[in-house]
Structure 1
């Protein structure tokens, strides 16, 4: 199959980039992007034909956004995908991160793998607006209105929509008025993950962005250290207790080089002051695999995550995952069997304490988790099912 992939930003090592990479390994596509930073994303992308779309003259009036990498990049990506006509011979175009789905404006046979409708425009709109000054609120409101107009033009014409979870599917129905998306959840390669032991640290791996809500995990670790099962002391705060000596929390992930994310990291470090919290930033794949192989259990605290590869990677290492009871992890984790689903930092701390004091249970849940992944969530299962979706889209010629 001759595949073209459209994904706007190859500049991080996150779950979306991992999905794109695994698809590329199978189909050897041409990849059309807007930003490609080989040193910041997975090195394997160098093995593929990655093409950066040329600038559009329509981007010039938005020069005032140059100091705002997030919005400047979004505007550039929007124009380039909306106006690009693919000249390669292809069977199907596989769009990924928004607004790459706008490539449908001038090209047929698009299968959009929707990781989520644009959260800044939809379910996280109010959250993001609260972060902005009044002038930026006005600017952002105008940009989002323009985004929705283009989205409403392109999405109804897309031949096939696939998404990563029922969480994302519900958003597609609610915000994009498409009721025909097919859920095909990403997986992991179990051979890449191993269990080398149970060191005394909880691992919290994700990109360092506010949406991952690391403060939730830090507060849970503070409560765990207090050994009071979620009850604050007289000052209203949790104080470290020597009974938790030797345990630490490791926060590991890619740090985007934006002001917003740098300030967020500073906030997290202040919050973690006085606790055994270690920050490991921009680690290589081998380093991350080593962290995975030796941790005790994983903490996952992202806001209503679309799907989430981290819980699957945790289970592939024969370790349980303690996650917030929302989003994709609420679907992939078998509560009480392969991990725990919790509704507050205090509850997360209770489950951390339970596993720390019961290593046999921790090991048992981890082994059950790996069985769960092998049966349901491997890249092989994912790619075989996705190929059928590509063929369906490829057959819809006008």
Structure 2
């Protein structure tokens, strides 16, 4: 048995959080001791496993600011993660043989004070997630970018979430050419999706023949407006009474961008005259998610160069086809023309793909079944568990 601590910045609701929780479930299923340490955990805005006793969660450093007058988010996030690492090493009293950290590598020098093995999961280089349009932004980011690259190289093992991210890692961290990160697809534990689908869901519009669904956080980088614009194109070709789009997304009142982008999407919907054809859902339970995916004709997945993308995997497991942007992770998960369609990121291509489901309702079932088979064959949780368990046991045996 290996004592594992997951060190994560914020245990909210998002793809990164789902990935580490599923990794924790995988290791726990193999008899390892697993717990979490985080800088923030809100029981009203988190995944079930972090509040129902499945894992012990310790919070350290939530008193530290998340920003300074609405600026310096990255610096504050780094400081919060470093503080959490100091707490783990010096004050927590936790037993750990391996520390699994992700998103922010700046904490690794602190973790190296111990004899524990350090596994860093790189969802995507942080330095690529922000723009540097001004001189002062470049000056502010320069030491942060240097620190990210330097400290990432201090981990005993680096994992990435897709072949796409592995290539970006190599191109971005040029001083770490000696590191070949191992690809570990963040496959979810599908047990929650095997539970009964609720028979009643008021989020599903009545008397609509075709229901499109978007699931993603309310963030501008997720390109969510594309789904609404594509629906606008589609309605010009078919009866508006036939189709509906549900925009379901992770939403946190603490995050200004979530609130701002939600309003932007509402305004776009009104501008295109789609108020009767688009509904919005801000955050949802596991049961609601199962129901949404079960009742949807097709999932619309709009991020460009998404690092991996958990939602298309979940959708295909639930026998829901996927229309996604032809880039990033979906190139590895969605089989174009078999389990859905891969399109350039423009409204016309997306609407053309959506029209195929309007014209042929049987296509949803056919592609949905193919998607389910693809997930079972290529993206099983058992394979994920075996691979991760092997990595952990090898690290801790050295």
Per the shorter chain, which TM-score range? 0.7 to 0.9
Residues 225-263 of structure 1: CA deviation (Å, up to 9, x unaligned): 111xxxxxxxxxxxxx6x232311100011132222212
Aligned residue for 1:331? 332
SS at match of 1:145: helix
What are structure 2's unaligned runs of at least 5 residues? none
Q: Secondary structure at the match of 1:340?
A: strand
Give the structure 2 partner of residue 256 of structure 1. 252
Structure 1 gaps of 5+ residues are 228-240
Q: 2:211 corresponds to which residue?
A: 201
Give the C-alpha shift of residue 191 in structure 1: 4.6
Query: Is 1:52 aligned with 2:93?
Result: no
The Cα RMSD (Å) is: 2.6
Q: In structure 2, how many angstroms separate the alpha carbons of the residues matched to 1:66 and 1:5? A: 30
The corresponding residue for 1:74 is 77
Q: Superposition pairs for residues 225-236 of structure 1, below 5 Å?
A: 225-227=235-237
Q: 1:306-317, aligned counterparts within 5 Å?
A: 306-317=307-318
Aligned pair in 2 of structure 1 residues 110, 226: CA closer, same or farther (>3 Å)?
same
1:34 is matched with 39
Give me the whole-angstrom Cα distance separating, in 2, the residues matched to 1:175 and 1:81: 27
Mapped pair 1:106 → 2:113? yes
Number of positions where the alignment pairs a residue of Structure 1 with one of Structure 2 = 366
Q: Cα–Cα, structure 1 residues 54 and 313, in superposed 2: closer, same or farther, change >3 Å? A: closer
Cα 1:69/1:142, change in 2 over 3 Å: closer
Moved over 6 A (4+): 194-198
Provide the C-alpha distance between the structure 2 equivalents of 1:306 and 1:55, rounded to a whole number of angstroms. 28
Partner of 1:280: 281
In structure 2, relative to structure 1, the CA distance for the partners of 1:190 and 1:85 (3 Å cut) is closer
- For 2:300 and 2:67, the matched residues in 1 are separated by 40
Could you give the per-residue CA deviations for residues 175-217 of structure 1, whole angstroms, max 9, x where no partner exists?
2235411001022344543789996210000111111110111
SS in 1 for 2:142: helix
Q: d(CA) in 1 for partners of 2:88 and 2:361?
A: 57
Write the mapping of 1:151-230 to structure 2, written as runs, cut at 5 A.
Answer: 151-176=148-173, 177-178=176-177, 179-193=179-193, 200-227=210-237
2:9–2:80 contact (8 Å) kept in structure 1: yes
* Equivalent residue runs for 1:99-138 within 5 Å: 99=105, 102=108, 103-107=110-114, 108-118=116-126, 121-122=127-128, 124-126=129-131, 129=132, 138=136
Alpha-carbon distance in structure 1 between the residues aligned to 2:67 and 2:236: 49
Mapped partners of 1:370, 1:359: distance in 2: 18
